[in-house]
Every structure is written in structure tokens, then in C-alpha cells.
Amino acid sequence: MKYELKQKSTVIIIFILVIMLAIIPFFQTEEPPAQAFEPSGNLSDEINELLLNDPLLKGSLAGVSVRSAEDGELLYEHIGDTRLQPASVLKLFTAAAGLSVLGKDYRFTTAVLADGKMTDGTLEGNLILKGKGDPTLIPADFDRFAEAIKEQGIQRITGDLIADDSWYDDVRYSEDLTWNDEHQYYGSQISALTAAPNKDYDAGTVIVNILPGKIGSEGNISLEPDTDFLDIINQTQTVDANGELDINIEREHGTNTIYIKGTIPADSKKTREWISIWEPSLFAISLFKMSLEKEGITVVGKIKAGTSTKGMKELISHKSMALSELMVPFMKLSNNGHAEVLVKEMGQVVHGEGSWEKGLEAMNSELAKLGVDIDQLVLRDGSGISHSNLIPANEITGLLYQVQKEKWFPAFHHSLPVAGVSDRMVGGTLRNRMKEEPLKENVIAKTGSLTGVSTLAGYVKTSSGKPLIFAVLLNNLLDDTQGRKIENQIADILARQP
């Protein structure tokens, strides 16, 4: 009897212990700051120490994710499943989706069409320039179009020059772009017909050059390309050599009136700034008109917006560089316009509508095929300029692992900035960062920056040559430029791993 009671007591005690062990987790009120999965060396300890104790991160959020590039195993994370603002690191998703949907050999087309008859060197009708999204058209291209028109015997056009940008919708700005950004080169309008000033391909912009004049007089201002499409209000003043260089350039909303104010010292070198255009399709057609006139071709009519129709005679068909080549200025220089063009082009190709709504729909569908959990993302544009974009760090490293299996991955990888390499089309936005060993040329990654946000994600080689994938998303910073120091330090920790 005593034995039976003792046996029952033992069972009761064991039962109570099981219950206590089961409920203990419910009373834990604080999670550890990071989770590590088989880290190599001191990886976890070093990153934890940095994230917990660096004063630059006080009051901020730091999402960090590190994976093996060989098998995708998650080696380290810190709030890796928390959605954070990615800034331009979002372009990794846009580039991957664009290459997957369109293909690395995809090219944008521009056409010149005529809707009238040719009589003795005269086109009796209109000449139409139809754009289909090419963000790489520069003034030299319009010169070549004009030469080709002349070679076809056209010396006079009695009608108008018409800009047809109907390949995309007429919404020029993504949903969250502010008026503060719209005159900046990174906030340029998105149009199916546009032009860039040079081979950086900042479509929809002009370059404003300012040189000092005589002391007390206005500075000397010129534009690239040289155009009368803009109205320049010069309110600068040249001051003596000890004076302050303080130039402010703004475009009046809804116009192409540009105000240039401030002071420029007499011994200053040229100041350059890229400013966006209002209605880039009309800007493109104005450049085309200038090219025609240089070839001695008379245009009787005006420049205006319009659309082409079936049956018009195609005089010229021009194709852009392949998408794999365009990836270089897009990703190396973090070109916002290229990102938004890719979104609209995906919408047009997949859904027959060149809009942000349909483009993001197509982008999400393709990302899902690439293994991204799109239910964890908030995507508002393709460039990352919106503060409403949200992506977890683990989804970024997951994508970077999966894309290694794609046939277009070499073009994707080649487009990423390479740390410490001074050539702009190699080092890109990392050309002035991580110049020292072991980081130089071993970190290949996309940068991102917004007010209060600094991000970096890509690939890094360890001391033994083992490839790692990483993502660092720093949000709610008091000084976003200081975030780069944290990113550099994390990259250094990873590069020094055995």
C-alpha cells in the first residue's frame, strides 16, 4: 500500500514538473537581441556587440541577415523577419524581376513614323517620334535619326513633330514621391519617351553648369544639352575668392522655369547639378527638332504631344542596348528612373498596361517564382524612394541566394557595385567606401539611403574565399550617413571570418 502511494506521488510530481516546464516560456518577457545559426568563428558575438553597444544605433532599428551563398543556410539574423525600409536596396528585387520577366537580351524600341505623303523632298504631314520606354536616348541618337531622315530625301516637313509616349500611362510620379524631390534628378518624371544628357542615362534631366563671372556680376550658366526648352532665371552673384560657394537650384512646380540662386567665388571650378524636366516627352521631341534643323530640314509646324495610329509609315526603328548592359548604370549608379521604367515595362509586357499598379503586380508574381514570400513585402515603387516600402532582411538574403541559380545571374551580379574600385562603372556607389583590405573588391553589394535610412545588401568573401550573402537595414537613424560606418563594420566582420 505504501509502495502504491509512493508510486502515485512520483507520477504526480513528474506531471507537475512537465506542466511547469511547458508554461515557463509564456513568462519570458524579453527575446534575445539576435539569433545565430551555426555561426563561424566569433560572427554572432561580434555583430551582437556592435548592434547592442554602438551609440550610432541608439533608438534605431537594425535588421541583419547573413546566409551561406553555397547552400542558403541562415547563419545569423537580428530581427531578420521584421519589415524595414530598404531604400535603394529594393532595386535588387526590381532588377531580378526585370531580368526574369523581360530577359537579359531585352531591348527598348523607339520609332519615327510619318502620316503624310512625300512630294519632291517634302513630307506633307506630321512626323511622329514614338517612345517605348528607352531610358538611354541621348542627343547623339536624335542626331542619327535626323541623318537617317535626310538620307530618305526629306528636306521639309509641313506638319507637326509629335511626341508619342502612349506606351505607358500618363502618371509621371510614383505614389509617394514628394514635391521636395520632383526637381531632383532622382525624382525625374517617368515617360515612355524621354532623353538623357549623357551616358549616365539620367533620363528626363538636364545638367546645369555654373562658372563664376566677374566679381559682383552673375555667374555664367550653361546647360547640357544646350536647349531653349527651359527658362533659366539667373539670380547668382560672383563674389571674391574668399567668399562662400552657396548655390541653390530649383525648378518651379508644373513648369520648366529653373531658378538658380546664391554665390560663387571668383576662383571656383565649374559647379554641376542635374535637374529634372517637366514633361520629358516634349523635351525629347524638342531635341529631335534641333537635330533635324542641324541637318537643314525645315519643320513648319510645332512640337506637341499626340499618338501614332496603325498604317503610318515607319521611317526609323531604333533599339536600345540590351537589358544586361543597361543593368550596369542602373545598379552601379542606383538610377531611380531605370527602376521605375522597368516596373512599367513589366506591366506593359505582362498585363498590356504600362502603369505602376500593373507593373508591381507583375513584379510581385515574378518574385514569388524566385522564392520570395511576397506576403511579407510592401512594395510601392521600383526604386526604393518611398518610405512606405518595407522588406525583411531575411527576404533580401533569400532572394540573393535564389537568383544564383538563374541563367541571367552573371548579368545581375556584374551590375552590383564593387567596394573600393574607383571606376564609376565598376565601383559605382561603393567606389569611395571600403577601400582597405580585406573589404576592397571582396564586397559586391547594393547600397541604399533615405532620410533616416541606410542599407547595404549583397555578397562578401571570407578570408578563406567562402562566399556569404548579407543584408543590413538600418532605420530610424538620426544621421543616415553614419549608418555606412555600421555597414562597413559588419562587412568587415564577415570578410574576416575563416
Contact 337, 203 (CB under 8 A): yes
User: What's the total number of domains in the chain?
Assistant: 3
Distance CA 319, CA 315 (A): 14
203: nearest Cα among 110, 269, 271 = 110
The domain that holds 123 is classified in CATH as 3.50.80.20
Residue 328 and residue 297 share a domain: no
The domain that holds 44 is classified in CATH as 3.40.710.10
pLDDT at 433 over 80: yes
Residue 143 and residue 221 share a domain: no
Domain final position from 320, 352, 383: 320
Residue 303 and residue 167 share a domain: yes
275-284 average pLDDT score: 97
483 found inside a domain? yes
Cα torsion through 340, 344, 345, 346, rounded to 10: 100
24 found inside a domain? no
Contact 258, 230 (CB under 8 A): yes
**Mean residue pLDDT across the chain:** 91
pLDDT of residue 245: 94
249 found inside a domain? yes
Contact 423, 412 (CB under 8 A): no
Residue 97 and residue 41 share a domain: yes
pTM of the full predicted structure? 0.89
Residue 402 and residue 340 share a domain: yes
**CA 61, 65, 69 angle in degrees (round to 5)?**
160
Residue 269 and residue 220 share a domain: yes
pLDDT of residue 21: 38
184 found inside a domain? no
Domain final position from 320, 349, 379: 320
Residue 383 and residue 463 share a domain: yes
- Model confidence pLDDT, tens digit, residues 311-355: 899 999 999 999 999 999 999 999 999 999 999 999 999 999 999
Residue 245 and residue 340 share a domain: no
Q: How confident is the model at residue 263 (pLDDT cuts 50, 70, 90)?
A: very high
- Model confidence pLDDT, tens digit, residues 63-82: 999 999 999 999 999 999 99
Residue 297 and residue 221 share a domain: no
163 found inside a domain? yes
Q: Which residue has the higher pLDDT, 177 or 122?
A: 122
Q: Residue 116 gets which letter from DSSP?
A: S
11 found inside a domain? no
pLDDT of residue 17: 40
β-strand partners of 456? 447, 472
pLDDT of residue 179: 80
26 found inside a domain? no
Residues recognised as catalytic: 88, 91, 334
Q: Is 179 helix (H, G, I), strand (E, B) or coil?
A: coil
Distance CA 226, CA 133 (A): 23
Distance CA 79, CA 186 (A): 30
Residue 477 and residue 335 share a domain: yes
Range of the domain at 43: 35-105+324-495
45-50 average pLDDT score: 94
Q: Residue 329 gets which letter from DSSP?
A: I
What separation in angstroms does the CA of 240 have from each of 124, 210, 215, 234, 244? 57, 16, 6, 18, 9
Domain final position from 292, 320, 348: 320
158-174 average pLDDT score: 97
Residue 466 and residue 440 share a domain: yes
Residue 335 and residue 309 share a domain: no
Q: Which triple of cell numbers denotes residue 237?
A: 552673384
373-383 average pLDDT score: 98
23 found inside a domain? no
Radius of gyration of the chain (CA): 28
